[in-house]
Structure 1
Amino acid sequence: MTVRLEVDRWFPQPGRRSGARDLSLEIDGSEVAATSGSGGTGLLAMLAPVNAHDHGYGVRTLDFGCVDDALEPWIASLRLRPATDPYMEALVAFGRMLQSGCCATMHCHNSLHAERLFEEAKAVVRAARESGIRLALSCPLLDSSPWIYGDVEELRGLASAAEWKRISGLLPDYRPVGDQIAAVEEVARKHHGTGVDVQFGPIGPQWASNAMLEQIADASHASGRRIHMHLLESPRQRHWLDRRFPDGVVRHLDSIGFLSPRLAVAHGVQLRPDECDLLAERGVTVVTNPSANLRLRSGIAPLEALRRSGVNVAVGLDGTGFDDDQDIWREARLASLLHGGKEIDPAVTPAELFDAMTTNGAAVVNHPTGGDVVTVDYAEMTRDALFDDVDELTMILTRMTKSFVRDLVIAGKHVVSNGRIASFDFDAARGELLAQAKSALPELEKQRGNADLLAGLIRRYYRERFPQG
């Protein structure tokens, strides 16, 4: 299938190559051919961005009462997620990304129910196929309680007998590590040839035993399968993992062969400079999530240290965004402002930011996205501008939002046209998902007390047993 776009400006490598004017773009699969055109459309075209870390929240967290908080008690509130069709959940989430101009996403699946993984993965893949987004699917792996770092019995000591009886039945069961890894391989086998890149998804080293981490490293080495994992997101993770691994969790991961170009880690807020050096040496990519890091009070990632070390950095929305709107452009702008530094020249250049949004993100999802194109209404964005020669990339980093997205072409298909999703009826899907969520309200009302109790115990645990500040 071939798509033709008439554009006033074309940036095939934003920040790395100069843009061209008045072109006709012919997009055929992964190839873009540019020939002379008449212009006058007001459109600027560039490589489409990649959402390199996300959880596919069709029903967003704030909508089911999971308000922003410190990461650890916030995780407890995720128990309030309403039971909805995983296909519809993913479809709506992917639709929001398409509206933002994202051509691909790293979907870190949320289910902790191993027995549901096959059916839920099938539903997510179906949603990706029907929406048109490129998909990398990170399958969750863990064998320790997600409630706290360490022995969950320490939390029990803070609860009364009645309180523990209320919540202890909510603790998940874990299948043997070998069975979990085999399940990921089976998901990959079932979806081979569909264009989906299935990856190992250990949720984080704080929730994985040494045996699990070692077996995942071995399985990745043997099969070449990529790994996608949260790493050193909050100060409390840093503190606990330093006690568990006196030489640092990053050096431990390196000692077992976990670090390689097949690995991408999200957040990395608490990384030290020497750890950045090691990640760079091993070819690991770090996905930064500035909005989520701020909203969950985790801090600001050491992007300057990562840059100095030569670590490839990508950008992910993590299911949130600055305005809870899944806007990849605002996320990039926040990264630019947070890490611009205070010297006469910017600490992070526009070229590096656009690399993070495009080519580095494409490596994380393991998809060739060089032929995926987004157009933006540059004329509308600059309607009050007095000069036409202001640097376009500076303008985009300053003003661009998803409201200016006009076209999105993925793998030769016109997925967004004239600012509207063309691949499916987003409004109908969103309405159906909301109806499903509302039908779960009676059960959610029963669970709110348990979620509040669990969050309160977790907050007390970290307040009393972990250093503050």
Structure 2
Amino acid sequence: MLENPHPQQIIWAGTALPNPHVPAQSNFGVCVEGNRIVAAGSHQELTDRYPDTPQKGGDHLLLMPALVNSHDHGRAIGTGSFGIADDLLEIWLLQLGAQPTLDPYLAAAFDGLQLLKSGVGTVSHSHNPRNWQTLETEADQTIQGYRDVGIRVAFHPPIVDQNPIAYDPEVFHRHLPANLRSLIEPTDASSVLSTKDYFCLCRNLYNRFHDDQQHTVQIHVSPAGGQWCSDPLLLEAVDFAQQHQTRVQMHLLETCYQQQYAYRRWGKSFVQHLDEIGVLGPWLTCAHMVWVDEADLARLAERGVGVAHNPSSNLRLRSGIAPIAVMNQAGINLGIGLDGHGLDDDQDYLREMRLAWTLGNQPRASSPNLEAQTIWQMGTVGGRRITLGEDIPLGCLAKNEMADLVLVDWAAIQGMWPLSAPDGLLRRATRQHVKHVMVNGDWVIWDGQSSQVNEGEIIDRLQEQLRQQNIAELEGQAKDNRSLAHYLRSFYAEWDNH
């Protein structure tokens, strides 16, 4: 572990991005005491003011706030490593049952390390239970894994109470051969936690882990998606969040079939329905929102709803491209999430920001322009707003902000030709350029390596777990899933014609 015997230190760089609302600064630094920034300004001014304070930094570096990953799942290993090919979301989800079971602590620790090494200081973790009946134990271990490596986590366990396989289960069941109907009965929504048990679990996790002082851990609730959750469940989630002054995160309008589901069910858009029953509000973050009706954007902005944009995942799972430039123009709070499904399976948040910027600028002269500054905001203060909340002092390099910051190799990013920031940073930077990361006043990454845990040991233990998997059982599960997938694809193909 990197020792810091001094209660105070100056961190500076030749170039800095203190916050998304001001231009890049030259020779800028911050003075950190404990876990807070106590002063920010020019390097020379800080040196004169704190002459005996030790310093870290350099002319060749760029100083920036730590980034916020606003939606993820902490899988540790990409699904392609297990032979699960990218597909339509509805088909792909079915294949996840054939994944090997990994220790939740190791998965979170490994995933947290990859994010930290990409400059991320906070992750919003939407948990995928390995076993619904041991969800609380999984939650404990997952939170501990993230905290041991030094990353902040907003943890939200999921709940579903309807449509676990298909959005019209009765029709889907009727089209299945009898031998396949038995395969989906164990995955009926009644086999997961009851609503009572779920909110009891959330209350226990909140009481044990929720940190409303340092915000190292937050506990949120997560009705998994509008199509997977009944109206009463959604309203109880909102009620829980408001009572506990926490947040709700849910998947919404990720695919065209989810958009169609709303019109088939209620004869109106998902957003309109959720607004009418009282789900929308500043407590809510919706992940994906690829298929949102443009007419609903003003309503989302007025209600203060946040949107976590997941460009890589939306491409890989054939969902499409979310209209984030139009969302931004409408005044919607936006963040960016990797969703555990980046293009290269490497949890590179800097590359994900580049993809969001590139895809966000759509054809036609009449399309709104999405500037680099907006993407930078989505990765910092915007992400903090929709992940941890409006009033959390995080995402800027300013006095009284929590000390979450990153130093990247700006000289290596520029190469032979000078660049401006943040444009040049977003166009060229990758995780390989991240040198040092501080979270909550602690150097958790130094020279690109963890100062908190032995990453090699974590990798060795994960590889050993993979070697011990029952391959024949997993292959049998995968075969059953492929049989179901054929009929599920045919089921949704009929929706394409209506």
Q: TM-score, normalised by structure 2?
A: 0.88
What is the alpha-carbon distance in structure 2 between the residues aligned to residue 344 and residue 297 of structure 1? 26
1:50/1:362 contact within 8 Å kept = yes
Q: Does residue 422 of the first structure (1) align with residue 469 of the second (2)?
A: no
Q: What is the CA–CA distance in structure 1 between the aligned matches of 2:167 and 2:372, rounded to whole Å?
A: 38
Q: 1:61 matched to which residue of 2?
A: 79
1:168 and 1:76 mapped to 2: Cα distance?
13
Instruction: Determine which of 295, 299, 320 is the counterpart of 1:278.
Output: 299
1:327-369 Cα shifts (integer Å, max 9, x gaps): 1111111111112245499701122111100011112221542
2:325 maps to which residue? 304
Residue 365 of structure 1 corresponds to 387
Among 147, 150, 154, the alignment partner of 2:171 is 154
CA shift digits 1:409-433 (9 cap, x unpaired): 0100001111112221223212211
Whole-Å separation in 2 of the counterparts to 1:440 and 1:129: 27
Q: Distance in 2 between matches of 1:468 and 1:5?
A: 59
Post-superposition Cα deviations, 1:424-464, rounded to whole Å, max 9, x if no partner, equal 1223212211221231142312322122122222112112x
The 1:225/1:42 distance shift into structure 2, 3 A limit, reads same
| Aligned match of 2:265 | 244
Q: Are 2:15 and 2:59, in contact at CA under 8 Å, matched by a contact in 1?
A: no
Q: 1:155/1:341 Cα in 2 relative to 1: closer, same or farther (>3 Å)?
A: closer
Amino acid at match of 2:405: V
Structure 1 residue 224 corresponds to structure 2 residue 245: yes
1:314 offset after TM fit, Å? 0.5
CA distance in 2, matches of 1:192, 1:167: 36
Aligned match for 1:432, one of 461, 478, 482: 461
5 Å matches for 1:346-425?
Answer: 347-366=369-388, 368-370=393-395, 371-385=403-417, 388=418, 390-425=419-454
Q: Which moved more, 1:182-191 or 1:170-179?
A: 170-179
CA contact (8 A) 1:87 1:124 kept: yes
Matched, 1:115 2:133: yes
Number of residues of Structure 1 aligned to a counterpart in Structure 2: 463
Picking from 165, 169, 172, the partner of 2:186 is 169
Which residues in structure 2 correspond to 1:123-142 (within 5 Å)?
123-142=141-160
Secondary structure at 1:243 match in 2: helix
1:266-298 CA-partner distances (Å, limit 9, x unpaired) = 000011122111010000111111111111010
The letter of the residue matching 2:307 is V
Give the partner amino acid of 1:110.
N
Q: Distance in 1 between matches of 2:9 and 2:431?
A: 21
- Aligned residues of 1:204 and 1:229 also touching (Cα < 8 A): yes
Contact 1:218 1:257 in 2 (8 A): no
The structure 2 residue matched to 1:96, chosen from 114, 117, 127, is: 114
Asked if the contact 1:3/1:414 (under 8 Å) is kept, the reply is no
Partner of residue 182, structure 1: 200
In the alignment, structure 2 segments of 5+ residues that lack a partner are 1-6, 48-54, 396-402
RMSD of aligned residue pairs (Cα, Å): 2.1
Alpha-carbon shift at residue 72 of structure 1 (Å): 0.6
Residue 204 of structure 1: SS of its match in structure 2? coil
1:290 aligns with 2:311: yes
Determine if contact 1:373/1:408 at 8 Å carries over to the other structure: yes
State the one-letter code of the partner of 2:178. A
Among the aligned pairs, what percent are the same residue? 32
What is the one-letter code of the residue matched to 2:173?
R
C-alpha distance 10-113 of structure 1, shift in aligned 2 (>3 A): same
The Cα shift of 1:236 comes to: 0.7
d(CA) in 2 for partners of 1:192 and 1:300? 34
Does structure 1 residue 335 correspond to structure 2 residue 390?
no
Q: Is 1:46 the equivalent of 2:64?
A: yes
CA deviation map 1:93-149 (0-9, x unaligned)? 111111111000000000174421211111011112101101101110110132111
Partner SS for 1:17: coil
Partners of 1:284 and 1:182 lie apart in 2 by 26
Partner of 2:120, secondary structure, is: coil
Q: Deviations over 1:348-403 (max 9, x none)?
A: 11221111000111122215423311111011111211xx4x31211111101111
Note closer, same or farther for the CA distance 1:346–1:231 as it changes in structure 2 (3 Å cut).
Answer: closer
Matches within 5 A, 1:14-93: 14=20, 16-28=21-33, 29-31=35-37, 33-34=39-40, 35-36=43-44, 40-93=58-111
Tell me, which stretches of 5 or more residues in structure 1 are unaligned?
A: none
Aligned pair in 2 of structure 1 residues 73, 11: CA closer, same or farther (>3 Å)?
same
Structure 1 window deviating more from structure 2 (5-14 vs 371-380): it is 5-14
The more displaced of 34-43 and 47-56 is: 34-43
SS of corresponding position for 1:87: helix
Report deviation, 1:32. 5.5
For 1:402 and 1:41, how far apart are their aligned partners in 2?
A: 20
Over 6 Å off, 4+ runs: none
Q: Any idea what SS the aligned residue of 1:180 has?
A: helix
In 1: Cα distance, 2:194 partner to 2:368 partner: 49
1:321 to 315, 335, 342: 342
Specify the SS of the correspondent of 2:351: helix
TM-score, normalisation: structure 1 = 0.93
Alpha-carbon distance between aligned partners in 1 of 2:407 and 2:206, rounded to the nearest angstrom: 33
Q: Find the aligned partners of 2:221 and 2:460 in 1 and give their Cα distance.
A: 33
